[in-house]
Amino acid sequence: MLDEAVKNQLIKLHKICFNDGDYADFFFENRLPEIKIYTVENEGEILSACYARFFDLVLAGKQIRIPFLTGVATSPNHRYKGYAREVVLKAKNELTNEGYPFVMLHPFNHDFYRKLGFETINYVTRLSPTSQVAEGVTFRAMELNDIPLVSELYDSNISTHSAYKLRGLKETELLIGNSLKHGGFGYIIYHNGIPNGYIWCEDGGCVEALAKRKEYFDGLPLPQGYTLPLVGGNIHYSMGSVLSAEQLLKVIPYSENVSGNVCFELQGTNYNLTVKRGLFHSLTTTLSQGTPLTERELISICLGQGGRVKDNPFEGIIPYYDLACYEIY
């Protein structure tokens, strides 16, 4: 059980760094039982902290548990001394030892996290809806009692992607239900009288937008300047970092029915990957020189972004796809 004095330090640090008292209270009330906490300390003072949440992704029908780093914070009195880097690397090392294949986060600065081995693994397009409502489409404001419906709409829309984050009713209640209680808002989208999708907004922007067709968003009564994040595109969103190359290559999807071998070099070691009929078969070290890869390139390729990597040795072996994941905190 977390010591009360430590908990109070963590809450204070979070509120100072992020200036979001309501979310900090929500986070420490609802997330503590399920998260892991990493800190850098000096004589009992917490200088920097971050947290790992855990959730399930579905990659080509395969469900895997993934850690998601959040709340990376350093005391204003101790910034620019490398403590944020230290606490993130500490979290990565511990999660590696626990056997996770990769870790995700939503960055405040992509360049900062690239220096720590992270690379963008999912991208979005920002859609500006037109003013013309599509035929058969109607909207109504989202209410608290809509949370079960929103959960169903999330499931039915997100599962159309080959890779996506699972989210149950409880998590929808925590995220969107809490948001609606504290100034967030949204709309349920209907097509021919049947619920088809929704949008959810807070903090001056749209967080999620899911519907069967993008034209169903047209005509939404949004505040000026609001755009909708749609899965896929070229706007950088979440990032990932390899924890274990072997574990990663075991859980990712491969092109259907493909068989072959790939020789690649990672951090000075040459590996040979064997895939049979679209399934991982083995990963062994080899004396043969393979195509050099960085860990950032490997995570990009494995999470469907191989088209962004020059001289991708897994071309035709690991498919291109877009990960549908809206997680921020």
Confidence of residue 23 (pLDDT cuts 50, 70, 90): confident
Q: Give the model's pLDDT for residue 70.
A: 94
Over the range 46-76, which residues count as b (16 or more CB within 10 Å of their CB) and which as e?
bbbbbbbbebebbbbeeebebbbbbbbbbbe
8 Å CB contact between 254 and 278:
yes
**Given a cut of 90, is residue 246 above it in pLDDT?**
yes
Q: Is it the case that residue 40 has pLDDT exceeding 70?
A: yes
Give 134: exposed, middle or buried? Use CB within 10 Å, 0-12, 13-18, 19+: middle
The answer to which of 3-17, 130-144, 209-223 has the lowest mean pLDDT is 3-17
Q: Characterize 246-257 residue by residue with b for buried, 16 or more Cβ atoms within 10 angstroms of its Cβ, and e for exposed.
A: ebbbebbbbbee
Q: Determine contact, residues 256/322, Cβ cutoff 8 Å.
A: no
Give the fold, CATH level 3, of 4-100.
Answer: Aminopeptidase (3.40.630)
253-305 per-position pLDDT tens digit? 999 999 999 999 999 999 999 999 999 999 999 999 999 999 999 999 999 99
pLDDT tier at 91 (50, 70, 90 boundaries)? very high
- What is the CATH T-level fold of the domain 239-324, as seen in this structure? Nonspecific Lipid-transfer Protein; Chain A (3.30.1050)
CATH number of 125-236: 3.40.630.30
Task: Out of 4-8, 100-104, 288-292, 294-298, pick the least confident.
Answer: 4-8
Please classify residue 29 by burial: count the beta carbons closer than 10 Å to its beta carbon, then call 0-12 exposed, 13-18 middle and 19+ buried: exposed
Average pLDDT of the segment spanning 105-112: 94
Domain edges within the chain:
4-100, 125-236, 239-324
Contacts for 118 with CB less than 8 Å, ≥ 6 apart: 105, 107, 110, 239, 240, 241, 296, 299
pLDDT exceeds cutoff 80 at 69: yes
Q: Is the pLDDT of residue 47 over 90?
A: yes
pLDDT(1) > 90: no
Phi–psi pair at 129, nearest 5 degrees: -60, 150
The pLDDT tens digits of the residues spanning 165-217 come to: 999 999 999 999 989 998 999 999 999 999 999 999 998 899 999 999 999 99
- Per-residue confidence (pLDDT) for residue 32, from 0 to 100: 79
Q: Which tokens hold the place of 42?
A: 């000096």
pLDDT for 177: 93
pLDDT greater than 70 at residue 112? yes
* Average model confidence (pLDDT) across the chain: 94
Which residue in the block uniquely carries the two structure tokens 């220096």?
115
Fold match between domain 125-236 and domain 239-324: no
- What pLDDT band is residue 21 in, cutting at 50, 70 and 90? low
* Beta-carbon contacts of residue 329 (< 8 Å; ≥ 6 apart): 23, 27, 70, 71, 106
SS3 label, residue 134: coil
User: Percent of the chain having pLDDT more than 90?
Assistant: 86
Write down the pTM of the prediction.
0.94
Provide the token pair at 269. Answer: 């070691």
